[in-house]
Chains A and B, each alone.
Chain A
Amino acid sequence: MKTDLDALFEDRYARFSREFIRYSQYMANGGMLFIAIFLGGLIALYYRDLIAAIPPWFPVPYALAFVVSLLVTRTPHRTFLLEADLLFLTPLEHRMEAYFRKTRRYNWMVQSIFLFLLLLLFFPVYQANMQSDSVQLWFYWLVPIILKGWNVHSSWILLKLPEQRSLTSYALARYLFSFLILAWVFTAGEFLRIGGWSLAGLFGTVFLIGFSIQLNRIRKQYPYQWYRLLEIENRQRRKFYRFVNQFTDIPQVGSRGQSRRWLSPFVRVVPYAQANAGRILFLRMFLRSADYLGIYVRLLVIGGLLAVLFPDLTAKAAVIVMILLMTASQIKGIWKRQRKGNGRILFPINVEGQKRSFQWVCGVLLLIQGLLISIMAWLSGAGSAVFLLFLVSFLASYGYSYLVLPRGLRA
């Protein structure tokens, strides 16, 4: 029987789309979205002031190129591959290019949406700092999207490389090239202009030719790295499910532990004792999982930045409460994960003990986050009002962990 790879892609894509639409409905009904909109509104309120506060010496186009290049270069490839494909699709490797061309097109489109949103966010900054004509503005929107396409195309070919290390070097090269082009475009061709010569354009062209030759060689030399493709797909899928899991229960959520030895001392603060087993278990689950710790740190950074940037004390306090609530709704996933997995029958810790341990871990993590955001606000000149922020952090962490959370912890 001949496998129809076009139909296979359509089928996988349709299945994911249905799933996405279904989960989007849950997300639209969730409280997280409300908090995000509220925080967005707060940022919008101060955004004009923030732009006006950018000092004239600040190199806006280069800073924009630096940040936008990060998103342009980051190209995780969704392929919709399944575990069983290692068995069924590998014999069709020579015909898979048509299938993967479609997945590349899909990735380019989806990733361009996020890129567009980032460009939209920075557009007022760019407009305020550059006297740009309409052609220049078209470049602002189009060049990053085209560069994204090039990055998706080239990073796909590079995924054939067997060595993970060379993959990192090539990613760095892609980043530098993207930065070079974007800095050139955002400065309206002024970047690396010496005399009448645009060196950025020249370097860019030479790099592109050299890189294309290299890509062509790699494309012909190596087969697909199936296990890597599957690993990337699974990682992306897990990320999606983990995100949606904050709004509704998803059975597919899984996570791989990462060693992170440098974080072990934090767990050792909790003494070895039968009564502490639950606390240690949840603390380790938090510190080891890429997603929970990652979200915690990202929200901490966002909260810190906003607390520093917002001039008003009430706004700083509101940021702390919002960020802690967002973090709390994410961390709650650890409880769901623990209750759902087989692991819950592994260690004999009773349900009540587990609940108490989880509340404690949640409270401590939120308090630390709140205190760190307050300290950042203090360093930026909040003065003695920081004690008020400490108090807000304490009340929010305690209130959530011991008054709100128990109602949500089901056995």
Chain B
Amino acid sequence: MNKILEVNGVTGGYTSSQTVIKNITFDIHEKEIVALIGLNGAGKSTTIKHILGLLQPREGSIQIAGQTFASNPDTYRLSYGYIPESPIYYEELSLWEHLELMAMTHGVERQLFLERVKPLLQEFRMEEMKDRFPHQFSKGMRQKLMIMMALLVEPRLFIVDEPILGLDPLGIRSLLTWLEKCKEQGAGILMSTHILATAERYCDRFIIIHKGEIKMQGTLEELRQQTGFSHHSLDDIYLHVVEAEDK
């Protein structure tokens, strides 16, 4: 399976004097969902910001489909779909116009946009909201807008930051089913989350990050072997790793 995302020995943070993440190394391949799990402040969002090209690594490198941000920022930014933890939107654009502009900036033809957008609006039950503005939405609805924008352009890599918070149960199911469908079609997905039960059910591999460093990574079976917790859940393994580190 081809590698879509390669993160090699990345060290970085928000300022040059402060290191938030240290020597982070992992890959994401086609047709897999990888969970990035860690406590609040563990470095998940900082890692994601480095991948997005919003922060530059002090050491190490990041490649999406073989390209780095520095080599070509424009095509790099077009190569992923990002679902942020806190919705980002323009006050002046309606839901429909956000989707339309997203398709436009990614070079999706108008006809194709119209074909893709309809089932998305249906799936996330937002058809009646399409002419409304995000400030009229609940937090969950804004989150759905972010999700639909990312799904619409069908990128090869999805970067999903805490996607489940604020979503209603139907929204959560829709998102996860849709991501699984994208995965089947060849996409790679990096999902940062706190909800370990969901991660265990939907993700193929897990990266446990703690205090800015990767403490363990692999499939659930591999994590079980590494910890010796042969029949335990991801929850137990995770708590064990984090508590052992704190001691």
Q: Give B41-75 as 1s and 0s: 1 = Cβ < 8 Å from A's Cβ atoms.
A: 00000000000101000000000000000000110
Of B87-95, B117-125, B213-221, B229-237, the segment with at least 4 beta carbons within 8 Å of chain A is B87-95
B97 within 8 A of A: yes
Q: Are A285 and B90 touching (Cβ within 8 A)? A: yes
- A:241-295 near B, CB below 8 Å: 254-257, 259, 272-274, 276-277, 280-281, 284-285, 288-289
Q: Give A344-358 as 1s and 0s: 1 = Cβ < 8 Å from B's Cβ atoms.
A: 011111100000000
Name the residue of chain B whose CB is nearest to the CB of A348.
B77
**Cα A245 to Cα B170 with chains together (Å):** 43
Q: Give B137-152 as 1s and 0s: 1 = Cβ < 8 Å from A's Cβ atoms.
A: 0000000000001000
B110 within 8 A of A: yes
What would 5 A/B residue contacts be, using CB atoms closer than 8 Å?
A280-B104, A284-B93, A341-B90, A346-B102, A348-B78
Name the residue of chain B whose CB is nearest to the CB of A282.
B92
A384 within 8 A of B: no
CB-CB < 8 A to B104: which residues of A?
Answer: 272-274, 276-277, 280
CB-CB < 8 A to B176: which residues of A?
Answer: none
CB-CB < 8 A to B133: which residues of A?
Answer: 256-257, 259
**Cα A272 to Cα B108 with chains together (Å):** 10
Tell me whether A289 and B90 are in contact in the complex, defined as CB-CB below 8 angstroms, given that A259-B131, A349-B105 are known contacts.
no
CB B185 to nearest CB in A, in angstroms, measures 22
CB A348 to nearest CB in B, in angstroms, measures 4
- A:293-350 near B, CB below 8 Å: 341-343, 345-350
**Cα A254 to Cα B106 with chains together (Å):** 27
Q: Are A347 and B105 touching (Cβ within 8 A)? A: yes
B101 within 8 A of A: yes
Interface residues of A (CB under 8 A from B): 254-257, 259, 272-274, 276-277, 280-281, 284-285, 288-289, 341-343, 345-350
CB A354 to nearest CB in B, in angstroms, measures 11
CB-CB < 8 A to A347: which residues of B?
Answer: 101-102, 105
B135 within 8 A of A: yes
CB B46 to nearest CB in A, in angstroms, measures 15
Q: Are A288 and B74 touching (Cβ within 8 A)? A: no
Q: Are A281 and B101 touching (Cβ within 8 A)? A: yes
CB-CB < 8 A to B131: which residues of A?
Answer: 259
Contact of B89 among A256, A288, A343, A350 (CB under 8 A): A343
Q: Are A255 and B92 touching (Cβ within 8 A)? A: yes
Q: Are A259 and B94 touching (Cβ within 8 A)? A: yes
**Cα A345 to Cα B102 with chains together (Å):** 12
Name the residue of chain B whose CB is nearest to the CB of A272.
B110
19 additional contacts (CB under 8 A) given A288-B93, A346-B98, A348-B77: A257-B92, A257-B94, A257-B133, A257-B135, A272-B100, A280-B101, A281-B93, A284-B93, A284-B97, A285-B90, A285-B92, A342-B88, A345-B88, A346-B89, A346-B149, A347-B101, A347-B105, A348-B105, A349-B105
CB-CB < 8 A to A288: which residues of B?
Answer: 91-93
**Cα A345 to Cα B135 with chains together (Å):** 18
Name the residue of chain B whose CB is nearest to the CB of A350.
B74
CB A71 to nearest CB in B, in angstroms, measures 29
Contact of A343 among B52, B74, B88 (CB under 8 A): B88
**Cα A361 to Cα B203 with chains together (Å):** 46
**Cα A348 to Cα B103 with chains together (Å):** 11
CB B145 to nearest CB in A, in angstroms, measures 10
**Cα A395 to Cα B92 with chains together (Å):** 30
Tell me whether A343 and B90 are in contact in the complex, defined as CB-CB below 8 angstroms, given that A257-B135, A348-B74, A348-B106 are known contacts.
yes
Q: Are A277 and B105 touching (Cβ within 8 A)? A: yes
CB A72 to nearest CB in B, in angstroms, measures 32
Q: Are B91 and A256 touching (Cβ within 8 A)? A: yes
**Cα A356 to Cα B73 with chains together (Å):** 18
CB-CB < 8 A to A256: which residues of B?
Answer: 91, 133, 135
Q: Are B91 and A255 touching (Cβ within 8 A)? A: yes
Contact of A289 among B54, B74, B92 (CB under 8 A): B92
CB B17 to nearest CB in A, in angstroms, measures 24
Most chain B Cβ neighbours within 10 Å, of A255, A272, A280, A349: A272
CB-CB < 8 A to B94: which residues of A?
Answer: 257, 259
Most chain A Cβ neighbours within 10 Å, of B78, B89, B105, B135: B105
CB B1 to nearest CB in A, in angstroms, measures 26
- A-B pairs with lowest CB-CB distance, top 10: A288-B92, A348-B77, A257-B92, A277-B104, A342-B88, A274-B107, A347-B105, A277-B105, A285-B92, A343-B90
Most chain A Cβ neighbours within 10 Å, of B52, B77, B90, B133: B90
